[in-house]
Structure 1
Amino acid sequence: MAKGRIVKAAGAISLATSFSRILGYIKDMILAKYFGATGLSDVFFVAFRIPNLLRELFAEGSMSSAVIPVLKESQVKNPEETKQIVKSLFTFIVIVVGIITLLGILFSPLIVKLIAPGFTANEEKFQLTVLLTRIMFPFLLFISLAALTMGTLNTNNIFFIPALAPCFLNIVTIVAVVGFSSFFFNPIISVAVGITLGGFVQWLIQVPSFYKNGFKFGIARYHPALKKIAILVIPTILSMTVNQINIFVSTILASFLPEGSVTYLYYSMRLIQLPIGIFGVAVGMAVLPTLSGHIAEGKRDLLIKDFIFALKFLFFLTIPSTIGLIMLKEPIVNTLFQRGVFDLNATINTASALLFYSFGILGTVGSRTITATFYSMQNTKTPVACATTGMLVNIGVSLVLMKSMKHNGLALAYSIAATVQFLMLSILLKRKIQEIAFSSIIPSFIKSLIASLVSIGIAKLICNLNPNIWLHSEQMLIKFLWLGFAITVAIVGYFVLCYFMKHEELSYILKKIRRN
């Protein structure tokens, strides 16, 4: 059953992504302890926008989205030819992306001026940002190879290892900061070195599984399938790039706001990436090979059925985490980040940004699944148009709101843009496939929303039993246990309420568990 494959694949990706996110938050806690919300941390996070953008474009998006439909189509017609396509792609990446990496290193000063023009007023700050950007630019080549390997494995229904690979990026970065920061004239350089080496390890860890499944890296001549992939990948990269411009716009504008604004936005964005990465990316990646297979086999009715199921399943998972970030924002930020030079003021400002970013989570994850559906039909132009509209909305609303709301206005503008993009994609998909009944999602959505509000409301009451604990930086173990207990109660309560409300997605999962 296709539903079973989607749930199983999404489960594997979510589990592996959860490990990666946990390690990512440990890394962020270490960075917060060492560098806090200071001018030095602002320098790193501006420079980090480059590898972070590349991860969004390649590791979680465009390349796999373009490669999988073509490889899936090739597998149906000629499985052996698929191996030659992969070799040809490898050759293309090494040559073309290698050249882009060198150009990026050369023109890093110009890139930094574009990303954070406010930094040019301080020469030392500007030069350090340029240095970090240059150190991290080779990440592009490694993450591109990792993305090719991931797309190939996903085509063969192997999801866990590729999704687990980003864990090693975080592990290497943590080791670099904790173990080697004292070796550099400026300790922040250790983070940049860790990210570049971590990107290499992220690719390397997938290679054994890649070879085990009969694929090989090697130099190969041009294959006609590359043209087809290029036609798909260019609009896909443009679409993902436009989405990332929303974040870059926030960075550029935040560089003109009071010191610490870039850091508040970074940490709050990191928190909303938890449900986006664990659920949004997971379901989008899991559903793409299945929907691509339906298209290759001409099974339009199954595509519609599995798309609706995927969207309902996605909201079933994402709604409680979204409500959780909104209602428990202060305890979460305090527990994860408030230590060292990251003080109460930084917690308050990060939590407020988290509130406004959270409003855009559902729009962001929903857009990923609808976009994957367009990609399965080898239609990459529509997502670009919708993403461009969202970007323009983000820029316009950001300029209006930043004057009165400061960094919170930038976070809210991002959420408004994400919601607009989701609504546009939904309307255009409905026009293309009129049989899709989006209204069938509403009962499931309402049940998830009610269960989330009740269960997380109880968790908030638990946290409020001792409100003073969330104001200081001490008693970290107690806070972890307290918050962990509250979240556990919320999770159990959510599933119990969904069970009694006979939630369709939960019933399906329980049925699969009983059958297995």
Structure 2
Amino acid sequence: MTSSEGRLLRSGAIVGAGVVASRLTGLLRTLAVTAVLGTSAFADSYNFANNVPNILYELVAGGVLSAALLPVVVDLVRRDDVDALRAVLTRTLGAIAALTVVAVLAAPLLGALVAGLGGGGAPPPDQREAATLLLRWFLPQIAFYGIMTVVTATLHARGRFGLAAFAPMANNLVTIVAFVGASITTTSDLTTLELRATLDERWVVTVVAAGTTLGVVVNAGLLLLGLRGSGVLRPTRRSTPSLSRLRRAAVGAVGVVAVTQLSVVVTAALAKRYGGLGDYSAYTYANLLFFVVYGVVAVSISTAVAPELSRAAGDDEAFRAEVRRGVRLLLLPVLPAALGLAALAGPVADSLPLRADAAARTAEVLVWFALGLAPYAFVQLVLRACWALEDRRTPVVLVAVQQGALVLPALVLSPLVGIRGLAASFAIGYAIGAVVALRHLVVDRRALGRADLTGIGQLLVAAATMAILVGLLDRFVLAGSFLGAEARVVVGAVVGATIYAAALVARGGGEDLRIIRNLLPGGRGRP
């Protein structure tokens, strides 16, 4: 193992531990939300409205910052140009503050839009009231998302990964407390109440909404502690050439984010229009589970790889080497995790505090999300490689193809099979996107060769074999046993990990096993 791989593993191990802790508390948060709201009409309104700040932020600023900011910040940190870094961060945060003010003022209009996405004609008054009320609480989150993005990029550029990985725990814990408090302060069963009756429980709605936003505020505040005393967040009026560089890098990112968020809006509208009662919540819960697994097995790698790609951007050979390492480190754990999740989607969904019919809907959606997990993670890594090179064209083309391949099947399948068709379109779109991304690395960048492709194929065969065997075990043995859903997940995961490890050993992949072991929580993170 090279020193570069060792450095990536050390960073990845730190991020991995934090992400596991954050995602586990995120899962507890999901359990709290489902236990209190279930798949009621208010749950749909809550989940939909809570996505609006994310959509607006990503559409106007978030995706652009994530793509364009890190390479600029890495360069400024390497040159120790604190004044230029202050100028970049001041202008960036100022723009996000302005966006937040505009969004909050537009809450009634956005509320009508959110309510109207459920179908044609004028939105019912209760839907409009619920959406507007929740958005007044949720839209201020935009400012704090901006702070989190800017501070996280600065910490990562300085090689400090732990705080950003662990901070979301606080967000999740605050939200959990809010939902527990809401359930204590009411004698009503919110999972079965009509929307009007839930809105009449105004104190409960306030606790839920305020607690959700307070969690984001606490998350941002903890991250700010990581830059305390550095001076980089002190406002300045100074200009710097780095601002022009940031604007140029943002041009391509704007196209990527616009296409992506248009797809998000379309799919959300389709989910609400063609799904039955509670289907959008089932879609949301499956999506949350998807990102729990993605965060645990992929974010630690991609987060650690991104600064290394930016540092190597001026050296073609070094950059290709970092790409090869990143792909290898990413796919080793992601492929078995994704296919294993698909195989165990049933017991995973049954582990949630949902009624049997809601759990069944969630499992059907989760299978398709899981099949799209590895392609999604791979595309995200390739996009990071493009941003590191400040390549503005390739990401737009890649994402346009990918989102087109997602939206077109969604438009066809959603009216036919509802929420399942929407989830299937996700897997289809990212699979096609991954093929295009792979072609870019092989043909355009010459970063992957025949040996690399052979290795990827072998990992895919090993992971697919494992998933098939685990799926058969769960369906024909575990499902009919005395084991509960949680135990079935644990047994399936242990058996799957054993099968995958045996497959790696059979192909002479002892080094691969050491890499995976070092990426696990408690792993050494050392070469």
Q: Distance in 1 between matches of 2:319 and 2:15?
A: 21
Counterparts in 2 of 1:224 and 1:419: CA distance versus 1, 3 Å: same
Counterparts in 2 of 1:460 and 1:215: CA distance versus 1, 3 Å: farther
User: 2:163: which partner in 1?
Assistant: 161
User: 2:195: which partner in 1?
Assistant: none
Counterparts in 2 of 1:431 and 1:246: CA distance versus 1, 3 Å: same
Residue type at the aligned position of 2:507: M
Q: Secondary structure at the match of 1:145?
A: helix
Residue type at the aligned position of 2:504: C
Q: Distance in 2 between matches of 1:282 and 1:235?
A: 25
The answer on whether the counterparts of 2:9 and 2:525 sit within 8 Å (CA) in structure 1 is: no
User: 1:32 Cα shift?
Assistant: 0.9
User: 2:349: which partner in 1?
Assistant: 333
2:332 to 311, 316, 329: 316
User: 1:302: which partner in 2?
Assistant: 318
Q: Distance in 1 between matches of 2:414 and 2:103?
A: 31
Q: Distance in 1 between matches of 2:474 and 2:437?
A: 39
Per-residue CA deviation, residues 268-327 of structure 1 (Å, 9 max, x unaligned), is 1112112322333332221111111112xx321121122112112211111111111111
Q: Distance in 2 between matches of 1:133 and 1:149?
A: 25
The answer on whether the counterparts of 2:272 and 2:279 sit within 8 Å (CA) in structure 1 is: yes
1:128 to 104, 127, 130: 130
Counterparts in 2 of 1:234 and 1:130: CA distance versus 1, 3 Å: farther
Per-residue CA deviation, residues 443-486 of structure 1 (Å, 9 max, x unaligned), is 2442353255337724762575452689xxxx9xx543443243
User: 1:393 Cα shift?
Assistant: 2.5
Unaligned residue ranges in structure 2 (runs of 5+): 187-200
Residue type at the aligned position of 1:165: A
1:366 to 378, 384, 390: 378
The answer on whether the counterparts of 2:305 and 2:326 sit within 8 Å (CA) in structure 1 is: yes
User: 1:149: which partner in 2?
Assistant: 151
* Pairing of 1:104-253 with structure 2 (within 5 A): 104-115=103-114, 116-118=116-118, 120-180=122-182, 182=185, 185=202, 187-211=204-228, 214-221=230-237, 222-253=239-270
Query: What fraction of aligned residue pairs are identical, expressed as a percent?
Result: 21
Q: Distance in 2 between matches of 1:22 and 1:402?
A: 31
Q: Distance in 1 between matches of 2:311 and 2:485?
A: 47
Q: Distance in 1 between matches of 2:433 and 2:462?
A: 25
Q: Distance in 2 between matches of 1:139 and 1:400?
A: 34
Unaligned residue ranges in structure 1 (runs of 5+): none
Q: Distance in 1 between matches of 2:286 and 2:449?
A: 34
Q: Distance in 2 between matches of 1:274 and 1:63?
A: 23
User: 2:85: which partner in 1?
Assistant: 86
User: 2:503: which partner in 1?
Assistant: 497
Q: Distance in 1 between matches of 2:45 and 2:481?
A: 31
* Pairing of 1:477-492 with structure 2 (within 5 A): 478-492=484-498
User: 1:509 Cα shift?
Assistant: 5.7
Q: What RMSD in Å do the two structures reach over aligned CA positions?
A: 2.8
Counterparts in 2 of 1:285 and 1:54: CA distance versus 1, 3 Å: farther
The answer on whether the counterparts of 1:27 and 1:174 sit within 8 Å (CA) in structure 2 is: yes
Which stretch has the larger CA shift, 262-271 or 188-197?
188-197
TM score, norm. by length of structure 1: 0.88
User: 2:290: which partner in 1?
Assistant: 272
The answer on whether the counterparts of 2:25 and 2:173 sit within 8 Å (CA) in structure 1 is: yes
User: 1:167 Cα shift?
Assistant: 1.5
Q: Distance in 1 between matches of 2:61 and 2:494?
A: 31
User: 1:437: which partner in 2?
Assistant: 449
* Pairing of 1:24-63 with structure 2 (within 5 A): 24-53=26-55, 62-63=64-65
User: 1:89 Cα shift?
Assistant: 3.2
Q: Distance in 1 between matches of 2:526 and 2:32?
A: 43
Q: Distance in 2 between matches of 1:60 and 1:167?
A: 21
Greater RCO (Cα-Cα under 8 Å, separation 6 or more): 2
1:351 aligns with 2:363: yes
Q: Distance in 2 between matches of 1:309 and 1:253?
A: 39
User: 1:421: which partner in 2?
Assistant: 433
Counterparts in 2 of 1:291 and 1:514: CA distance versus 1, 3 Å: closer
The answer on whether the counterparts of 2:347 and 2:488 sit within 8 Å (CA) in structure 1 is: no
Residue type at the aligned position of 1:442: T
User: 1:180 Cα shift?
Assistant: 4.4
1:392 aligns with 2:404: yes
Which stretch has the larger CA shift, 135-144 or 117-126?
117-126
